[in-house]
Amino acid sequence: MVSLNLILGAIAILCVSGFPALLFSSRSNHGQRLTTFLIAVGSVLGLSGAGLFLASGNAVSIQLRWQLPWGNFSAALDVLSVVFLSLIFIVPLLGSVYGLEYWKQSEHPENGQKLGVFFGLLAGSMALVVVARDSILFIVAWEIMALSAFFAATVEDDNCSVRQAGWVYLIATHIGTLCLFAMFILWSQFTGSFELSPVLTMSSKAAGTLFILALIGFGFKAGIMPLHVWLPGAHANAPSHVSALMSGVMLKMGIYGIVRMTQLIPVTDIWWGSVLLIIGIISGVAGIVFSISQNDIKKMLAYSSIENIGIICIALGLALLGRYQGRSDWVFLGFGGALLHVVNHGLFKSLLFFNAGTVIHVMHTRDINQMGGLAKKMPLTMILFVLGAIAICALPPMNGFMSEWLIYIGLFKTITGDAVQSLPFAALGAVALATIGSLAVAAFVKLAGAVYLGNPRNELINHAEESSPVLLVPMCICAVLCLFIGVYPLPVVNVLGGATNLWARSTEPAMSVLHIAPLQLICIIAAVLLSAIIFFLLVFRLWPGKNDIAKGTWDCGYARPTDKMQYTGSSTGDTLVKLFGFILWPVSQKPEISGAFPRRFSFKSVVNDTILDKIILPFFRFAGHYLPMVRVFQMGQTHTYVLYILIIIIVLLIVGF
Amino acid sequence: MITSIIHVLLLLLMPPLLMGIINKTKAWFGGRVGASFLQPYYDIIKLMRKGMVYSTTTTWIFRIGPIVTLVALLIAGLLVPMGPFSAPVTFTGDLILFAYLFGLSRFFTTAAALDTGSAFEGMGSAREVTFACFSEPALFFVFLVLIKISGAFSLTPMLHGPMEGFSVAIAAPVVLIAIGLFIIMLAESCRIPVDDPNTHLELTMIHEVMVLDHSGPLFGVISYTAAVKLFILSTVLLHILMPFQLQSDWINWLLQIFGVMGIAVLVGVVESVMARLQMQHVPYLLVSALLFCAFGFILLVR
């Protein structure tokens, strides 16, 4: 009971954390510090509540008096909630500390306080979503979350592209919410109440409808392809610590929704898992291919979030297939891998967005082709980036490898066993995961090369300095957590075992993941890898070298290379962009060069979001062109709308009786 | 214990010999005497005793790159069994670690190349990461076939699978993945027809162009690592090409050594009779490797 009370208290503090700052002058930093302090208090309370819960291990629930019609304020805590809560209480705190330097109130008097209010509200409402056990409370929290994310992401609303990205987000999130309304209304029809408690039996039609609605409604928030259209723009245009919070945590709320809904209803059909698996493969591969094609540092990271959501969907699909087939090993590896990847992605993506923020802070641009050579000026930032990149490419010894490793073994298991129990097509998920992995290496090598390595392509870099400790510490904490999970995942994996049992509704004692997948051995290998690298570096250091010389890059003897001749981000990705042209549709303006002394020409090549540009925008343009007659009813006067409601009610009364 | 010691010794000492055999084969095809079999050892030792020239553009990534690559590949080498013997390190899921250690080495090799700020080396890294996007999924199809045959999730039983449970049903898939794996091996260790390790025309190269600026001991480490990579991949291939064993342990070790040498001769023959492909045709070759492996998988599970 205490644990839930602590967490509800934390939620309350997080929600109001931004408001006291409004009392301070908009040009002083005191208000912002107070906000950060409050978020810290809330997060510590929440984390201790989560810790208490894990120590005791009993599910707790609470019902408060609430006078709203239909709904109850019913909240509960279980292992599944705690996994997501741990992210919600860590990332906003780090983001808020980061914001102290990145978005100083004294430098942003016009919007700093607004950002503070909605940042706290976003964090608090996400935590409320996770503990809510009543449809109405859930949807209220969900809407607060969606709207505060809109306001937090569009603080720079004097900028046209920010406003546009904001509108796309708002429309997308509300189409999703519409599906959720439908889903919860059907839920109350099928179960007789708005209470979110597990149902033992349900007709396959009803359960299937709920699953599809959940997939679409929550899929918009999670950003699965092709419902991702809002994601790149919103992430790119938000302040970096808001992007970190949105990408690291808010997308996971979509995943949480799908996970929670599939926990509540029985898995009645095999197509659920297959659909999720296929969606995962599409999102994963297309997401990372789009990421390679971008030259905006934050858009690259945003598309790579879609890829990671795809990986999580592949794993969840495997778990659903396992639940249907009664294969508990698939469930454990799939679901455990999915949850671990949720946590891992929350950590390393926050790290990378914070990192991108510091680079943008220095460069005043998001175009990676303008950067280069930052490694010399910002060595610590560079090291943190490399750690984050290794983690996100799922390379050992960082945490990304751990989650993908579990998912891989689960996918491999689908081809063994007898004909009834095996599903060979699911193993194609492993091949997709391998493709995603190698494309991710391409994307992040491109990013590292263009931003940090080589020579500066821009004057500004010569004046760049190492980031301040306020920016570095949150990144360091993320990196340390990533490395910790990568080298010693056992404590985290034990928590996941409980969550998996809860989700799979298995009555058997928790199956030990260690039994299926020897994580302890992986820990040893990771340690050996790290120590061997350090050992060989020492040997190299002490190697009796003969007079080493430092000279310019050889460049095959070319005498006058310039910094513009380096391979840029676009040129690194060029071959892959061409190979995947059928997905990407790159648009380029190529000048015709003729004559012995051609004039100055400029070349331009961009990759826009295919789904937004080729499907959604034409559809809206079409609708805007052909549907204005419907606008007759939309007069912009509230009392007319009330009149419509009255008319409809009267019609319903007549028809109903 | 003795098995592990022999394994480690072979892994550490034998790789440069393969390079010597390839060069000797090519010389023989060209009607020359060629350098000694041991020439690669002499080259590496010579390089280790030299000084280095660093580019002023580079950072720690440039220095750490070859070392991380070497460590990653040596650990990967400990996971692959030789002959009918068990690998020194074997556990459920080690095949994933194997593939991702290759990924780790690729990340650092390409990052170190981009660190020099030269367009040539940028070109090499772009090609390396691009072509890996085809060879990696192909490798996982190979894994899937081996898992299906052996029912195990660890490299040692997987690679011993074709030997222990050989039947007519698995013959066709095994032949298909052997072809696919051979192409992957040529691509990953940068041999003709994907890459030409001898040319100095930078525009046409992948691996050699990435290491243009490395010199002295670091370049020695890189040459050695390339040989280790070839050795590991040919050990994997050997299991599929030669799914049988004999009674005596010593003969099995000799079989392993001569088998790997035979693959080196095969690589040398391919290099002598084929020309390097045009760069834009390399993806087609890799896609065909992917298709061979995928058809092997489909034949097996249909």
Q: pLDDT tens-digit profile of A1-10?
A: 788 889 999 9
Strand residues in A16-154 grouped as ranges (E): 60-64, 73-77
Least-confidence region, from A19-23, A85-89, A504-508, B209-213: A504-508
A597 pLDDT band (50/70/90 cuts)?
confident
Residue B207: predicted pLDDT: 84
Reduced to 3 states (helix: H, G, I; strand: E, B; else coil), residue A73 is strand
State the best of B71, B146, B228, B282 to mutate against chain A, taking most chain A CBs within 10 Å: B71
Q: How many CB pairs under 8 A join A and B?
A: 239
Distance CA A568, CA A446 (A): 8
Q: Distance between the two ends of chain A, CA-based, in angstroms?
A: 48
Residue environment code for A306-331, b if the CB has 16+ CB neighbours within 10 A, otherwise e: bbbbbbbbbbbbbbbbbbbbebbbbb
Q: Inspect the interface and report whether the beta carbons of A444 and B115 lie closer than 8 Å.
A: no
Q: Are strands A60-64 and A604-606 parallel, antiparallel or unpaired?
A: unpaired
For residues A348-364, give the mean pLDDT.
Answer: 93
Distance CA(B95)–CA(B79), nearest Å, equals 8
- The pairs formed by B21-27 with CB atoms below 8 angstroms and a separation of 24 or more are B21/B261, B21/B264, B21/B265, B21/B268, B22/B191, B22/B264, B22/B265, B22/B267, B22/B268, B22/B271, B23/B268, B24/B268, B25/B264, B25/B265, B25/B267, B25/B268, B25/B269, B25/B271, B25/B272, B26/B268, B26/B271, B26/B272
Q: What is the pLDDT of residue A625?
A: 86
Q: Chain B contact for A390, CB < 8 A?
A: yes
Lowest mean per-residue pLDDT among A485-494, A555-564, A579-588, B13-22: A555-564
A257, A223 contact by CB (below 8 A): no
Fill in the DSSP letter of residue A560. -
Contacts with B178 (C-beta within 8 Å, 6 or more apart), sequence order: B237, B240, B241
Which tens digits make up the pLDDT trace of A123-173? 999 999 999 998 989 999 999 999 999 999 999 888 899 999 999 999 999
The CA angle B150-B152-B154, to the nearest 5 degrees, is: 120
Q: Residue B104: its chain A contacts at CB < 8 A?
A: 390, 395-396
pLDDT score, position A435: 95
Is A548 within 8 Å of chain B by CB?
A: yes
A211 contact partners, CB below 8 Å, separation of at least 6: A261, A262, A265, A272
Cα R_g (chain B), whole angstroms: 19
Q: Which residue is closest to A455 within chain B, CA to CA?
A: B117
Crossing angle of helices B119-150/A428-451, nearest 10°?
160
B187 inside 8 A of chain A by CB: no
Worst-scoring range by mean pLDDT, A67-76, A303-312, A382-391?
A67-76
Name the β-bridge partners of A76: A61
> Pick from B54, B97, B114: which is nearest to A445 by CB?
B114
Q: Are B215 and B52 in contact (CB under 8 A)?
A: yes
Chain A residue closest to B69 (CA)? Answer: A533
pLDDT band of residue A16 (cuts 50, 70, 90) is very high
Tell which phi-psi region holds residue A414, choosing left (phi > 0), alpha (psi between -120 and 50) or beta: alpha
Please give the pLDDT value at position A56. 82
Answer whether A377's CB lies under 8 Å from A461's CB. yes
| Whole-number pLDDT of residue B194 | 85
CB-based contact A521 B63, cutoff 8 Å: no
Mean pLDDT of A506-522: 70
Is the pLDDT at A217 greater than 90, yes or no?
yes
Best probe of the B interface among A547, A549, A567, by most B CBs < 10 A, is A567
Look at residues A468, A243, A471, A464 and name the one whose alpha carbon lies nearest to residue A371: A464
Peptide bond into A226 cis (omega under 30): yes
Q: Is the pLDDT of residue A62 over 80?
A: no
pLDDT digits (tens, 9 = 90+) for B190-247: 888 888 877 666 566 788 888 888 888 999 999 999 999 999 999 999 999 887 778 8
| Average pLDDT rounded to a whole number, residues A523-529 | 88
What does the pLDDT look like over A299-338, one tens digit per residue? 999 999 999 999 999 999 999 999 888 888 888 899 999 9
Band of residue B264 on the pLDDT scale cut at 50, 70, 90 = very high
pLDDT of residue A463: 84
Domain positions in chain B are 2-301
Please write the tens of the pLDDT for every residue from B243-263. 777 888 888 899 999 999 999
Contact B111 A550 (CB under 8 A): no
Q: Residue B192 gets which letter from DSSP?
A: T
**pLDDT, tens digit, 9 for 90 and up, residues B53-88:** 888 888 999 999 999 999 999 999 999 999 888 999
pLDDT, mean of residues B264-290: 91
CB neighbour burial string for A564-574, b if at least 16 within 10 angstroms, e if fewer: ebbbbbbbbbb
Give the model's confidence band at A67: pLDDT under 50 very low, under 70 low, under 90 confident, else very high: low
Whole-angstrom Cα distance, residue B80 to residue B185?
15
As to burial, measured by CB atoms within 10 angstroms (0-12 exposed, 13-18 middle, 19+ buried), residue A202 is middle
Q: What is the pTM for the complete model shown? A: 0.94
- Is the distance from CB of A337 to CB of A407 less than 8 angstroms? yes
> Nearest CA to A93 among A40, A18, A130?
A40
Name the pLDDT band for B265 (thresholds 50, 70, 90).
very high
Paired tokens of A94: 């780090």
DSSP secondary structure of B110-132: HHHHHTT--HHHHHHHHHHHHHH
More confident residue, B177 or A26: B177
The answer to whether residue A626 scores a pLDDT higher than 90 is: no
Residue (of B7, B213, B9) closest to B117 by Cα position: B213
Shortest Cα distance, chain B CAs vs residue A338, angstroms? 17
Mean pLDDT of B29-53: 92
Residue A76, SS3 per DSSP:
strand
8 Å CB contact between A19 and A117: yes
* Residue given tokens 């989650």 in the structure block: A403
B74/A445 Cβ within 8 A: no
List the structure tokens of A458. 């821009």
Percent of chain B with pLDDT over 70: 98
Q: What is residue A319's predicted lDDT score, i.e. its pLDDT? A: 94
A391, A399 Cβ separation under 8 angstroms: yes
Q: What is the C-alpha separation between B283 and B189, in angstroms, rounded?
A: 16
Whether residue A510 has pLDDT greater than 60:
no
Spell out the residues 6+ positions from residue B121 whose beta carbon is closer than 8 angstroms to its own.
A567, B113, B114, B209, B210, B212, B213
User: Which pair of structure tokens corresponds to residue B236?
Assistant: 């994997």
Reported as a pLDDT band with limits 50, 70 and 90, residue A550 is confident
Closest B-chain CA to A427: B144
CB of A456 less than 8 A from some CB of B = no
For residue A91, the model assigns a pLDDT of: 95
Highest mean pLDDT among A307-311, A327-331, A577-581, B127-131: A307-311
Percent of chain A with pLDDT strictly greater than 70: 96
A288/A294 Cα distance (integer angstroms): 10
Number of Cβ within 10 Å of residue A151's Cβ equals 19
Query: Among partner residues B55, B74, B301, which is closest to A551 by beta-carbon distance?
Result: B55
Does residue A628 or residue A442 have the better pLDDT? A442
Least confident of A416-420, B69-73, B125-129: A416-420
Q: What does the pLDDT read at residue A513?
A: 64
Query: Rounded to the nearest 5 degrees, what angle is found at the Cα of B184, between the Cα atoms of B178 and B189?
Result: 125
Find, in chain B, the residue whose alpha carbon is nearest to that of A545.
B51
Which two tokens mark A44? 């510590």
B100 has a pLDDT exceeding 90: yes
Q: How far apart are CA A56 and CA A59, in angstroms?
A: 9
Cβ A437–B106 below 8 Å, yes or no?
Answer: no
Predicted confidence (pLDDT) at residue A99 exceeds the cutoff of 70? yes
- Per-residue model confidence (pLDDT) at position A294: 92
Rounded Cα distance between A218 and A251, Å, is 9
Tell whether the model's pLDDT for residue A514 goes beyond 70: no
Task: Name the DSSP class of A109.
Answer: T
Interface touch A454/B110, C-beta < 8 Å: no
| A178 has pLDDT over 90 | yes
Place of tokens 């020492």: A538
Over residues A48-76, the mean pLDDT reads: 79
For residue A566, give Cα distances in angstroms to A38, A454, B117.
47, 7, 6
DSSP secondary structure string for all residues of A409-463: HHHHHTTSS-TTT--GGGGHHHHHHHHHHHHHHHHHHHHHHHHTSSS-SSGGGGG
> What is d(CA A94, CA A477) in angstroms, rounded to the nearest whole number?
8
One-letter amino acid of A407: I
Residue A657: per-residue pLDDT? 61
The answer to whether residue A561 neighbours chain B at the CB level (below 8 Å) is yes
The residue to which tokens 């042209």 are assigned: A581
Q: What is the enclosing helix (H) or strand (E) of A605?
A: strand A604-606
A574 to chain B, any CB pair closer than 8 A? The answer is yes
Report the pLDDT value the prediction gives residue B198, as an integer from 0 to 100: 74
Both tokens assigned to A603: 């070349």
Which amino acid is it at A294? Q
End-to-end alpha carbon distance in chain B: 41
- Strands B53-55 and A587-589 turn out to be unpaired
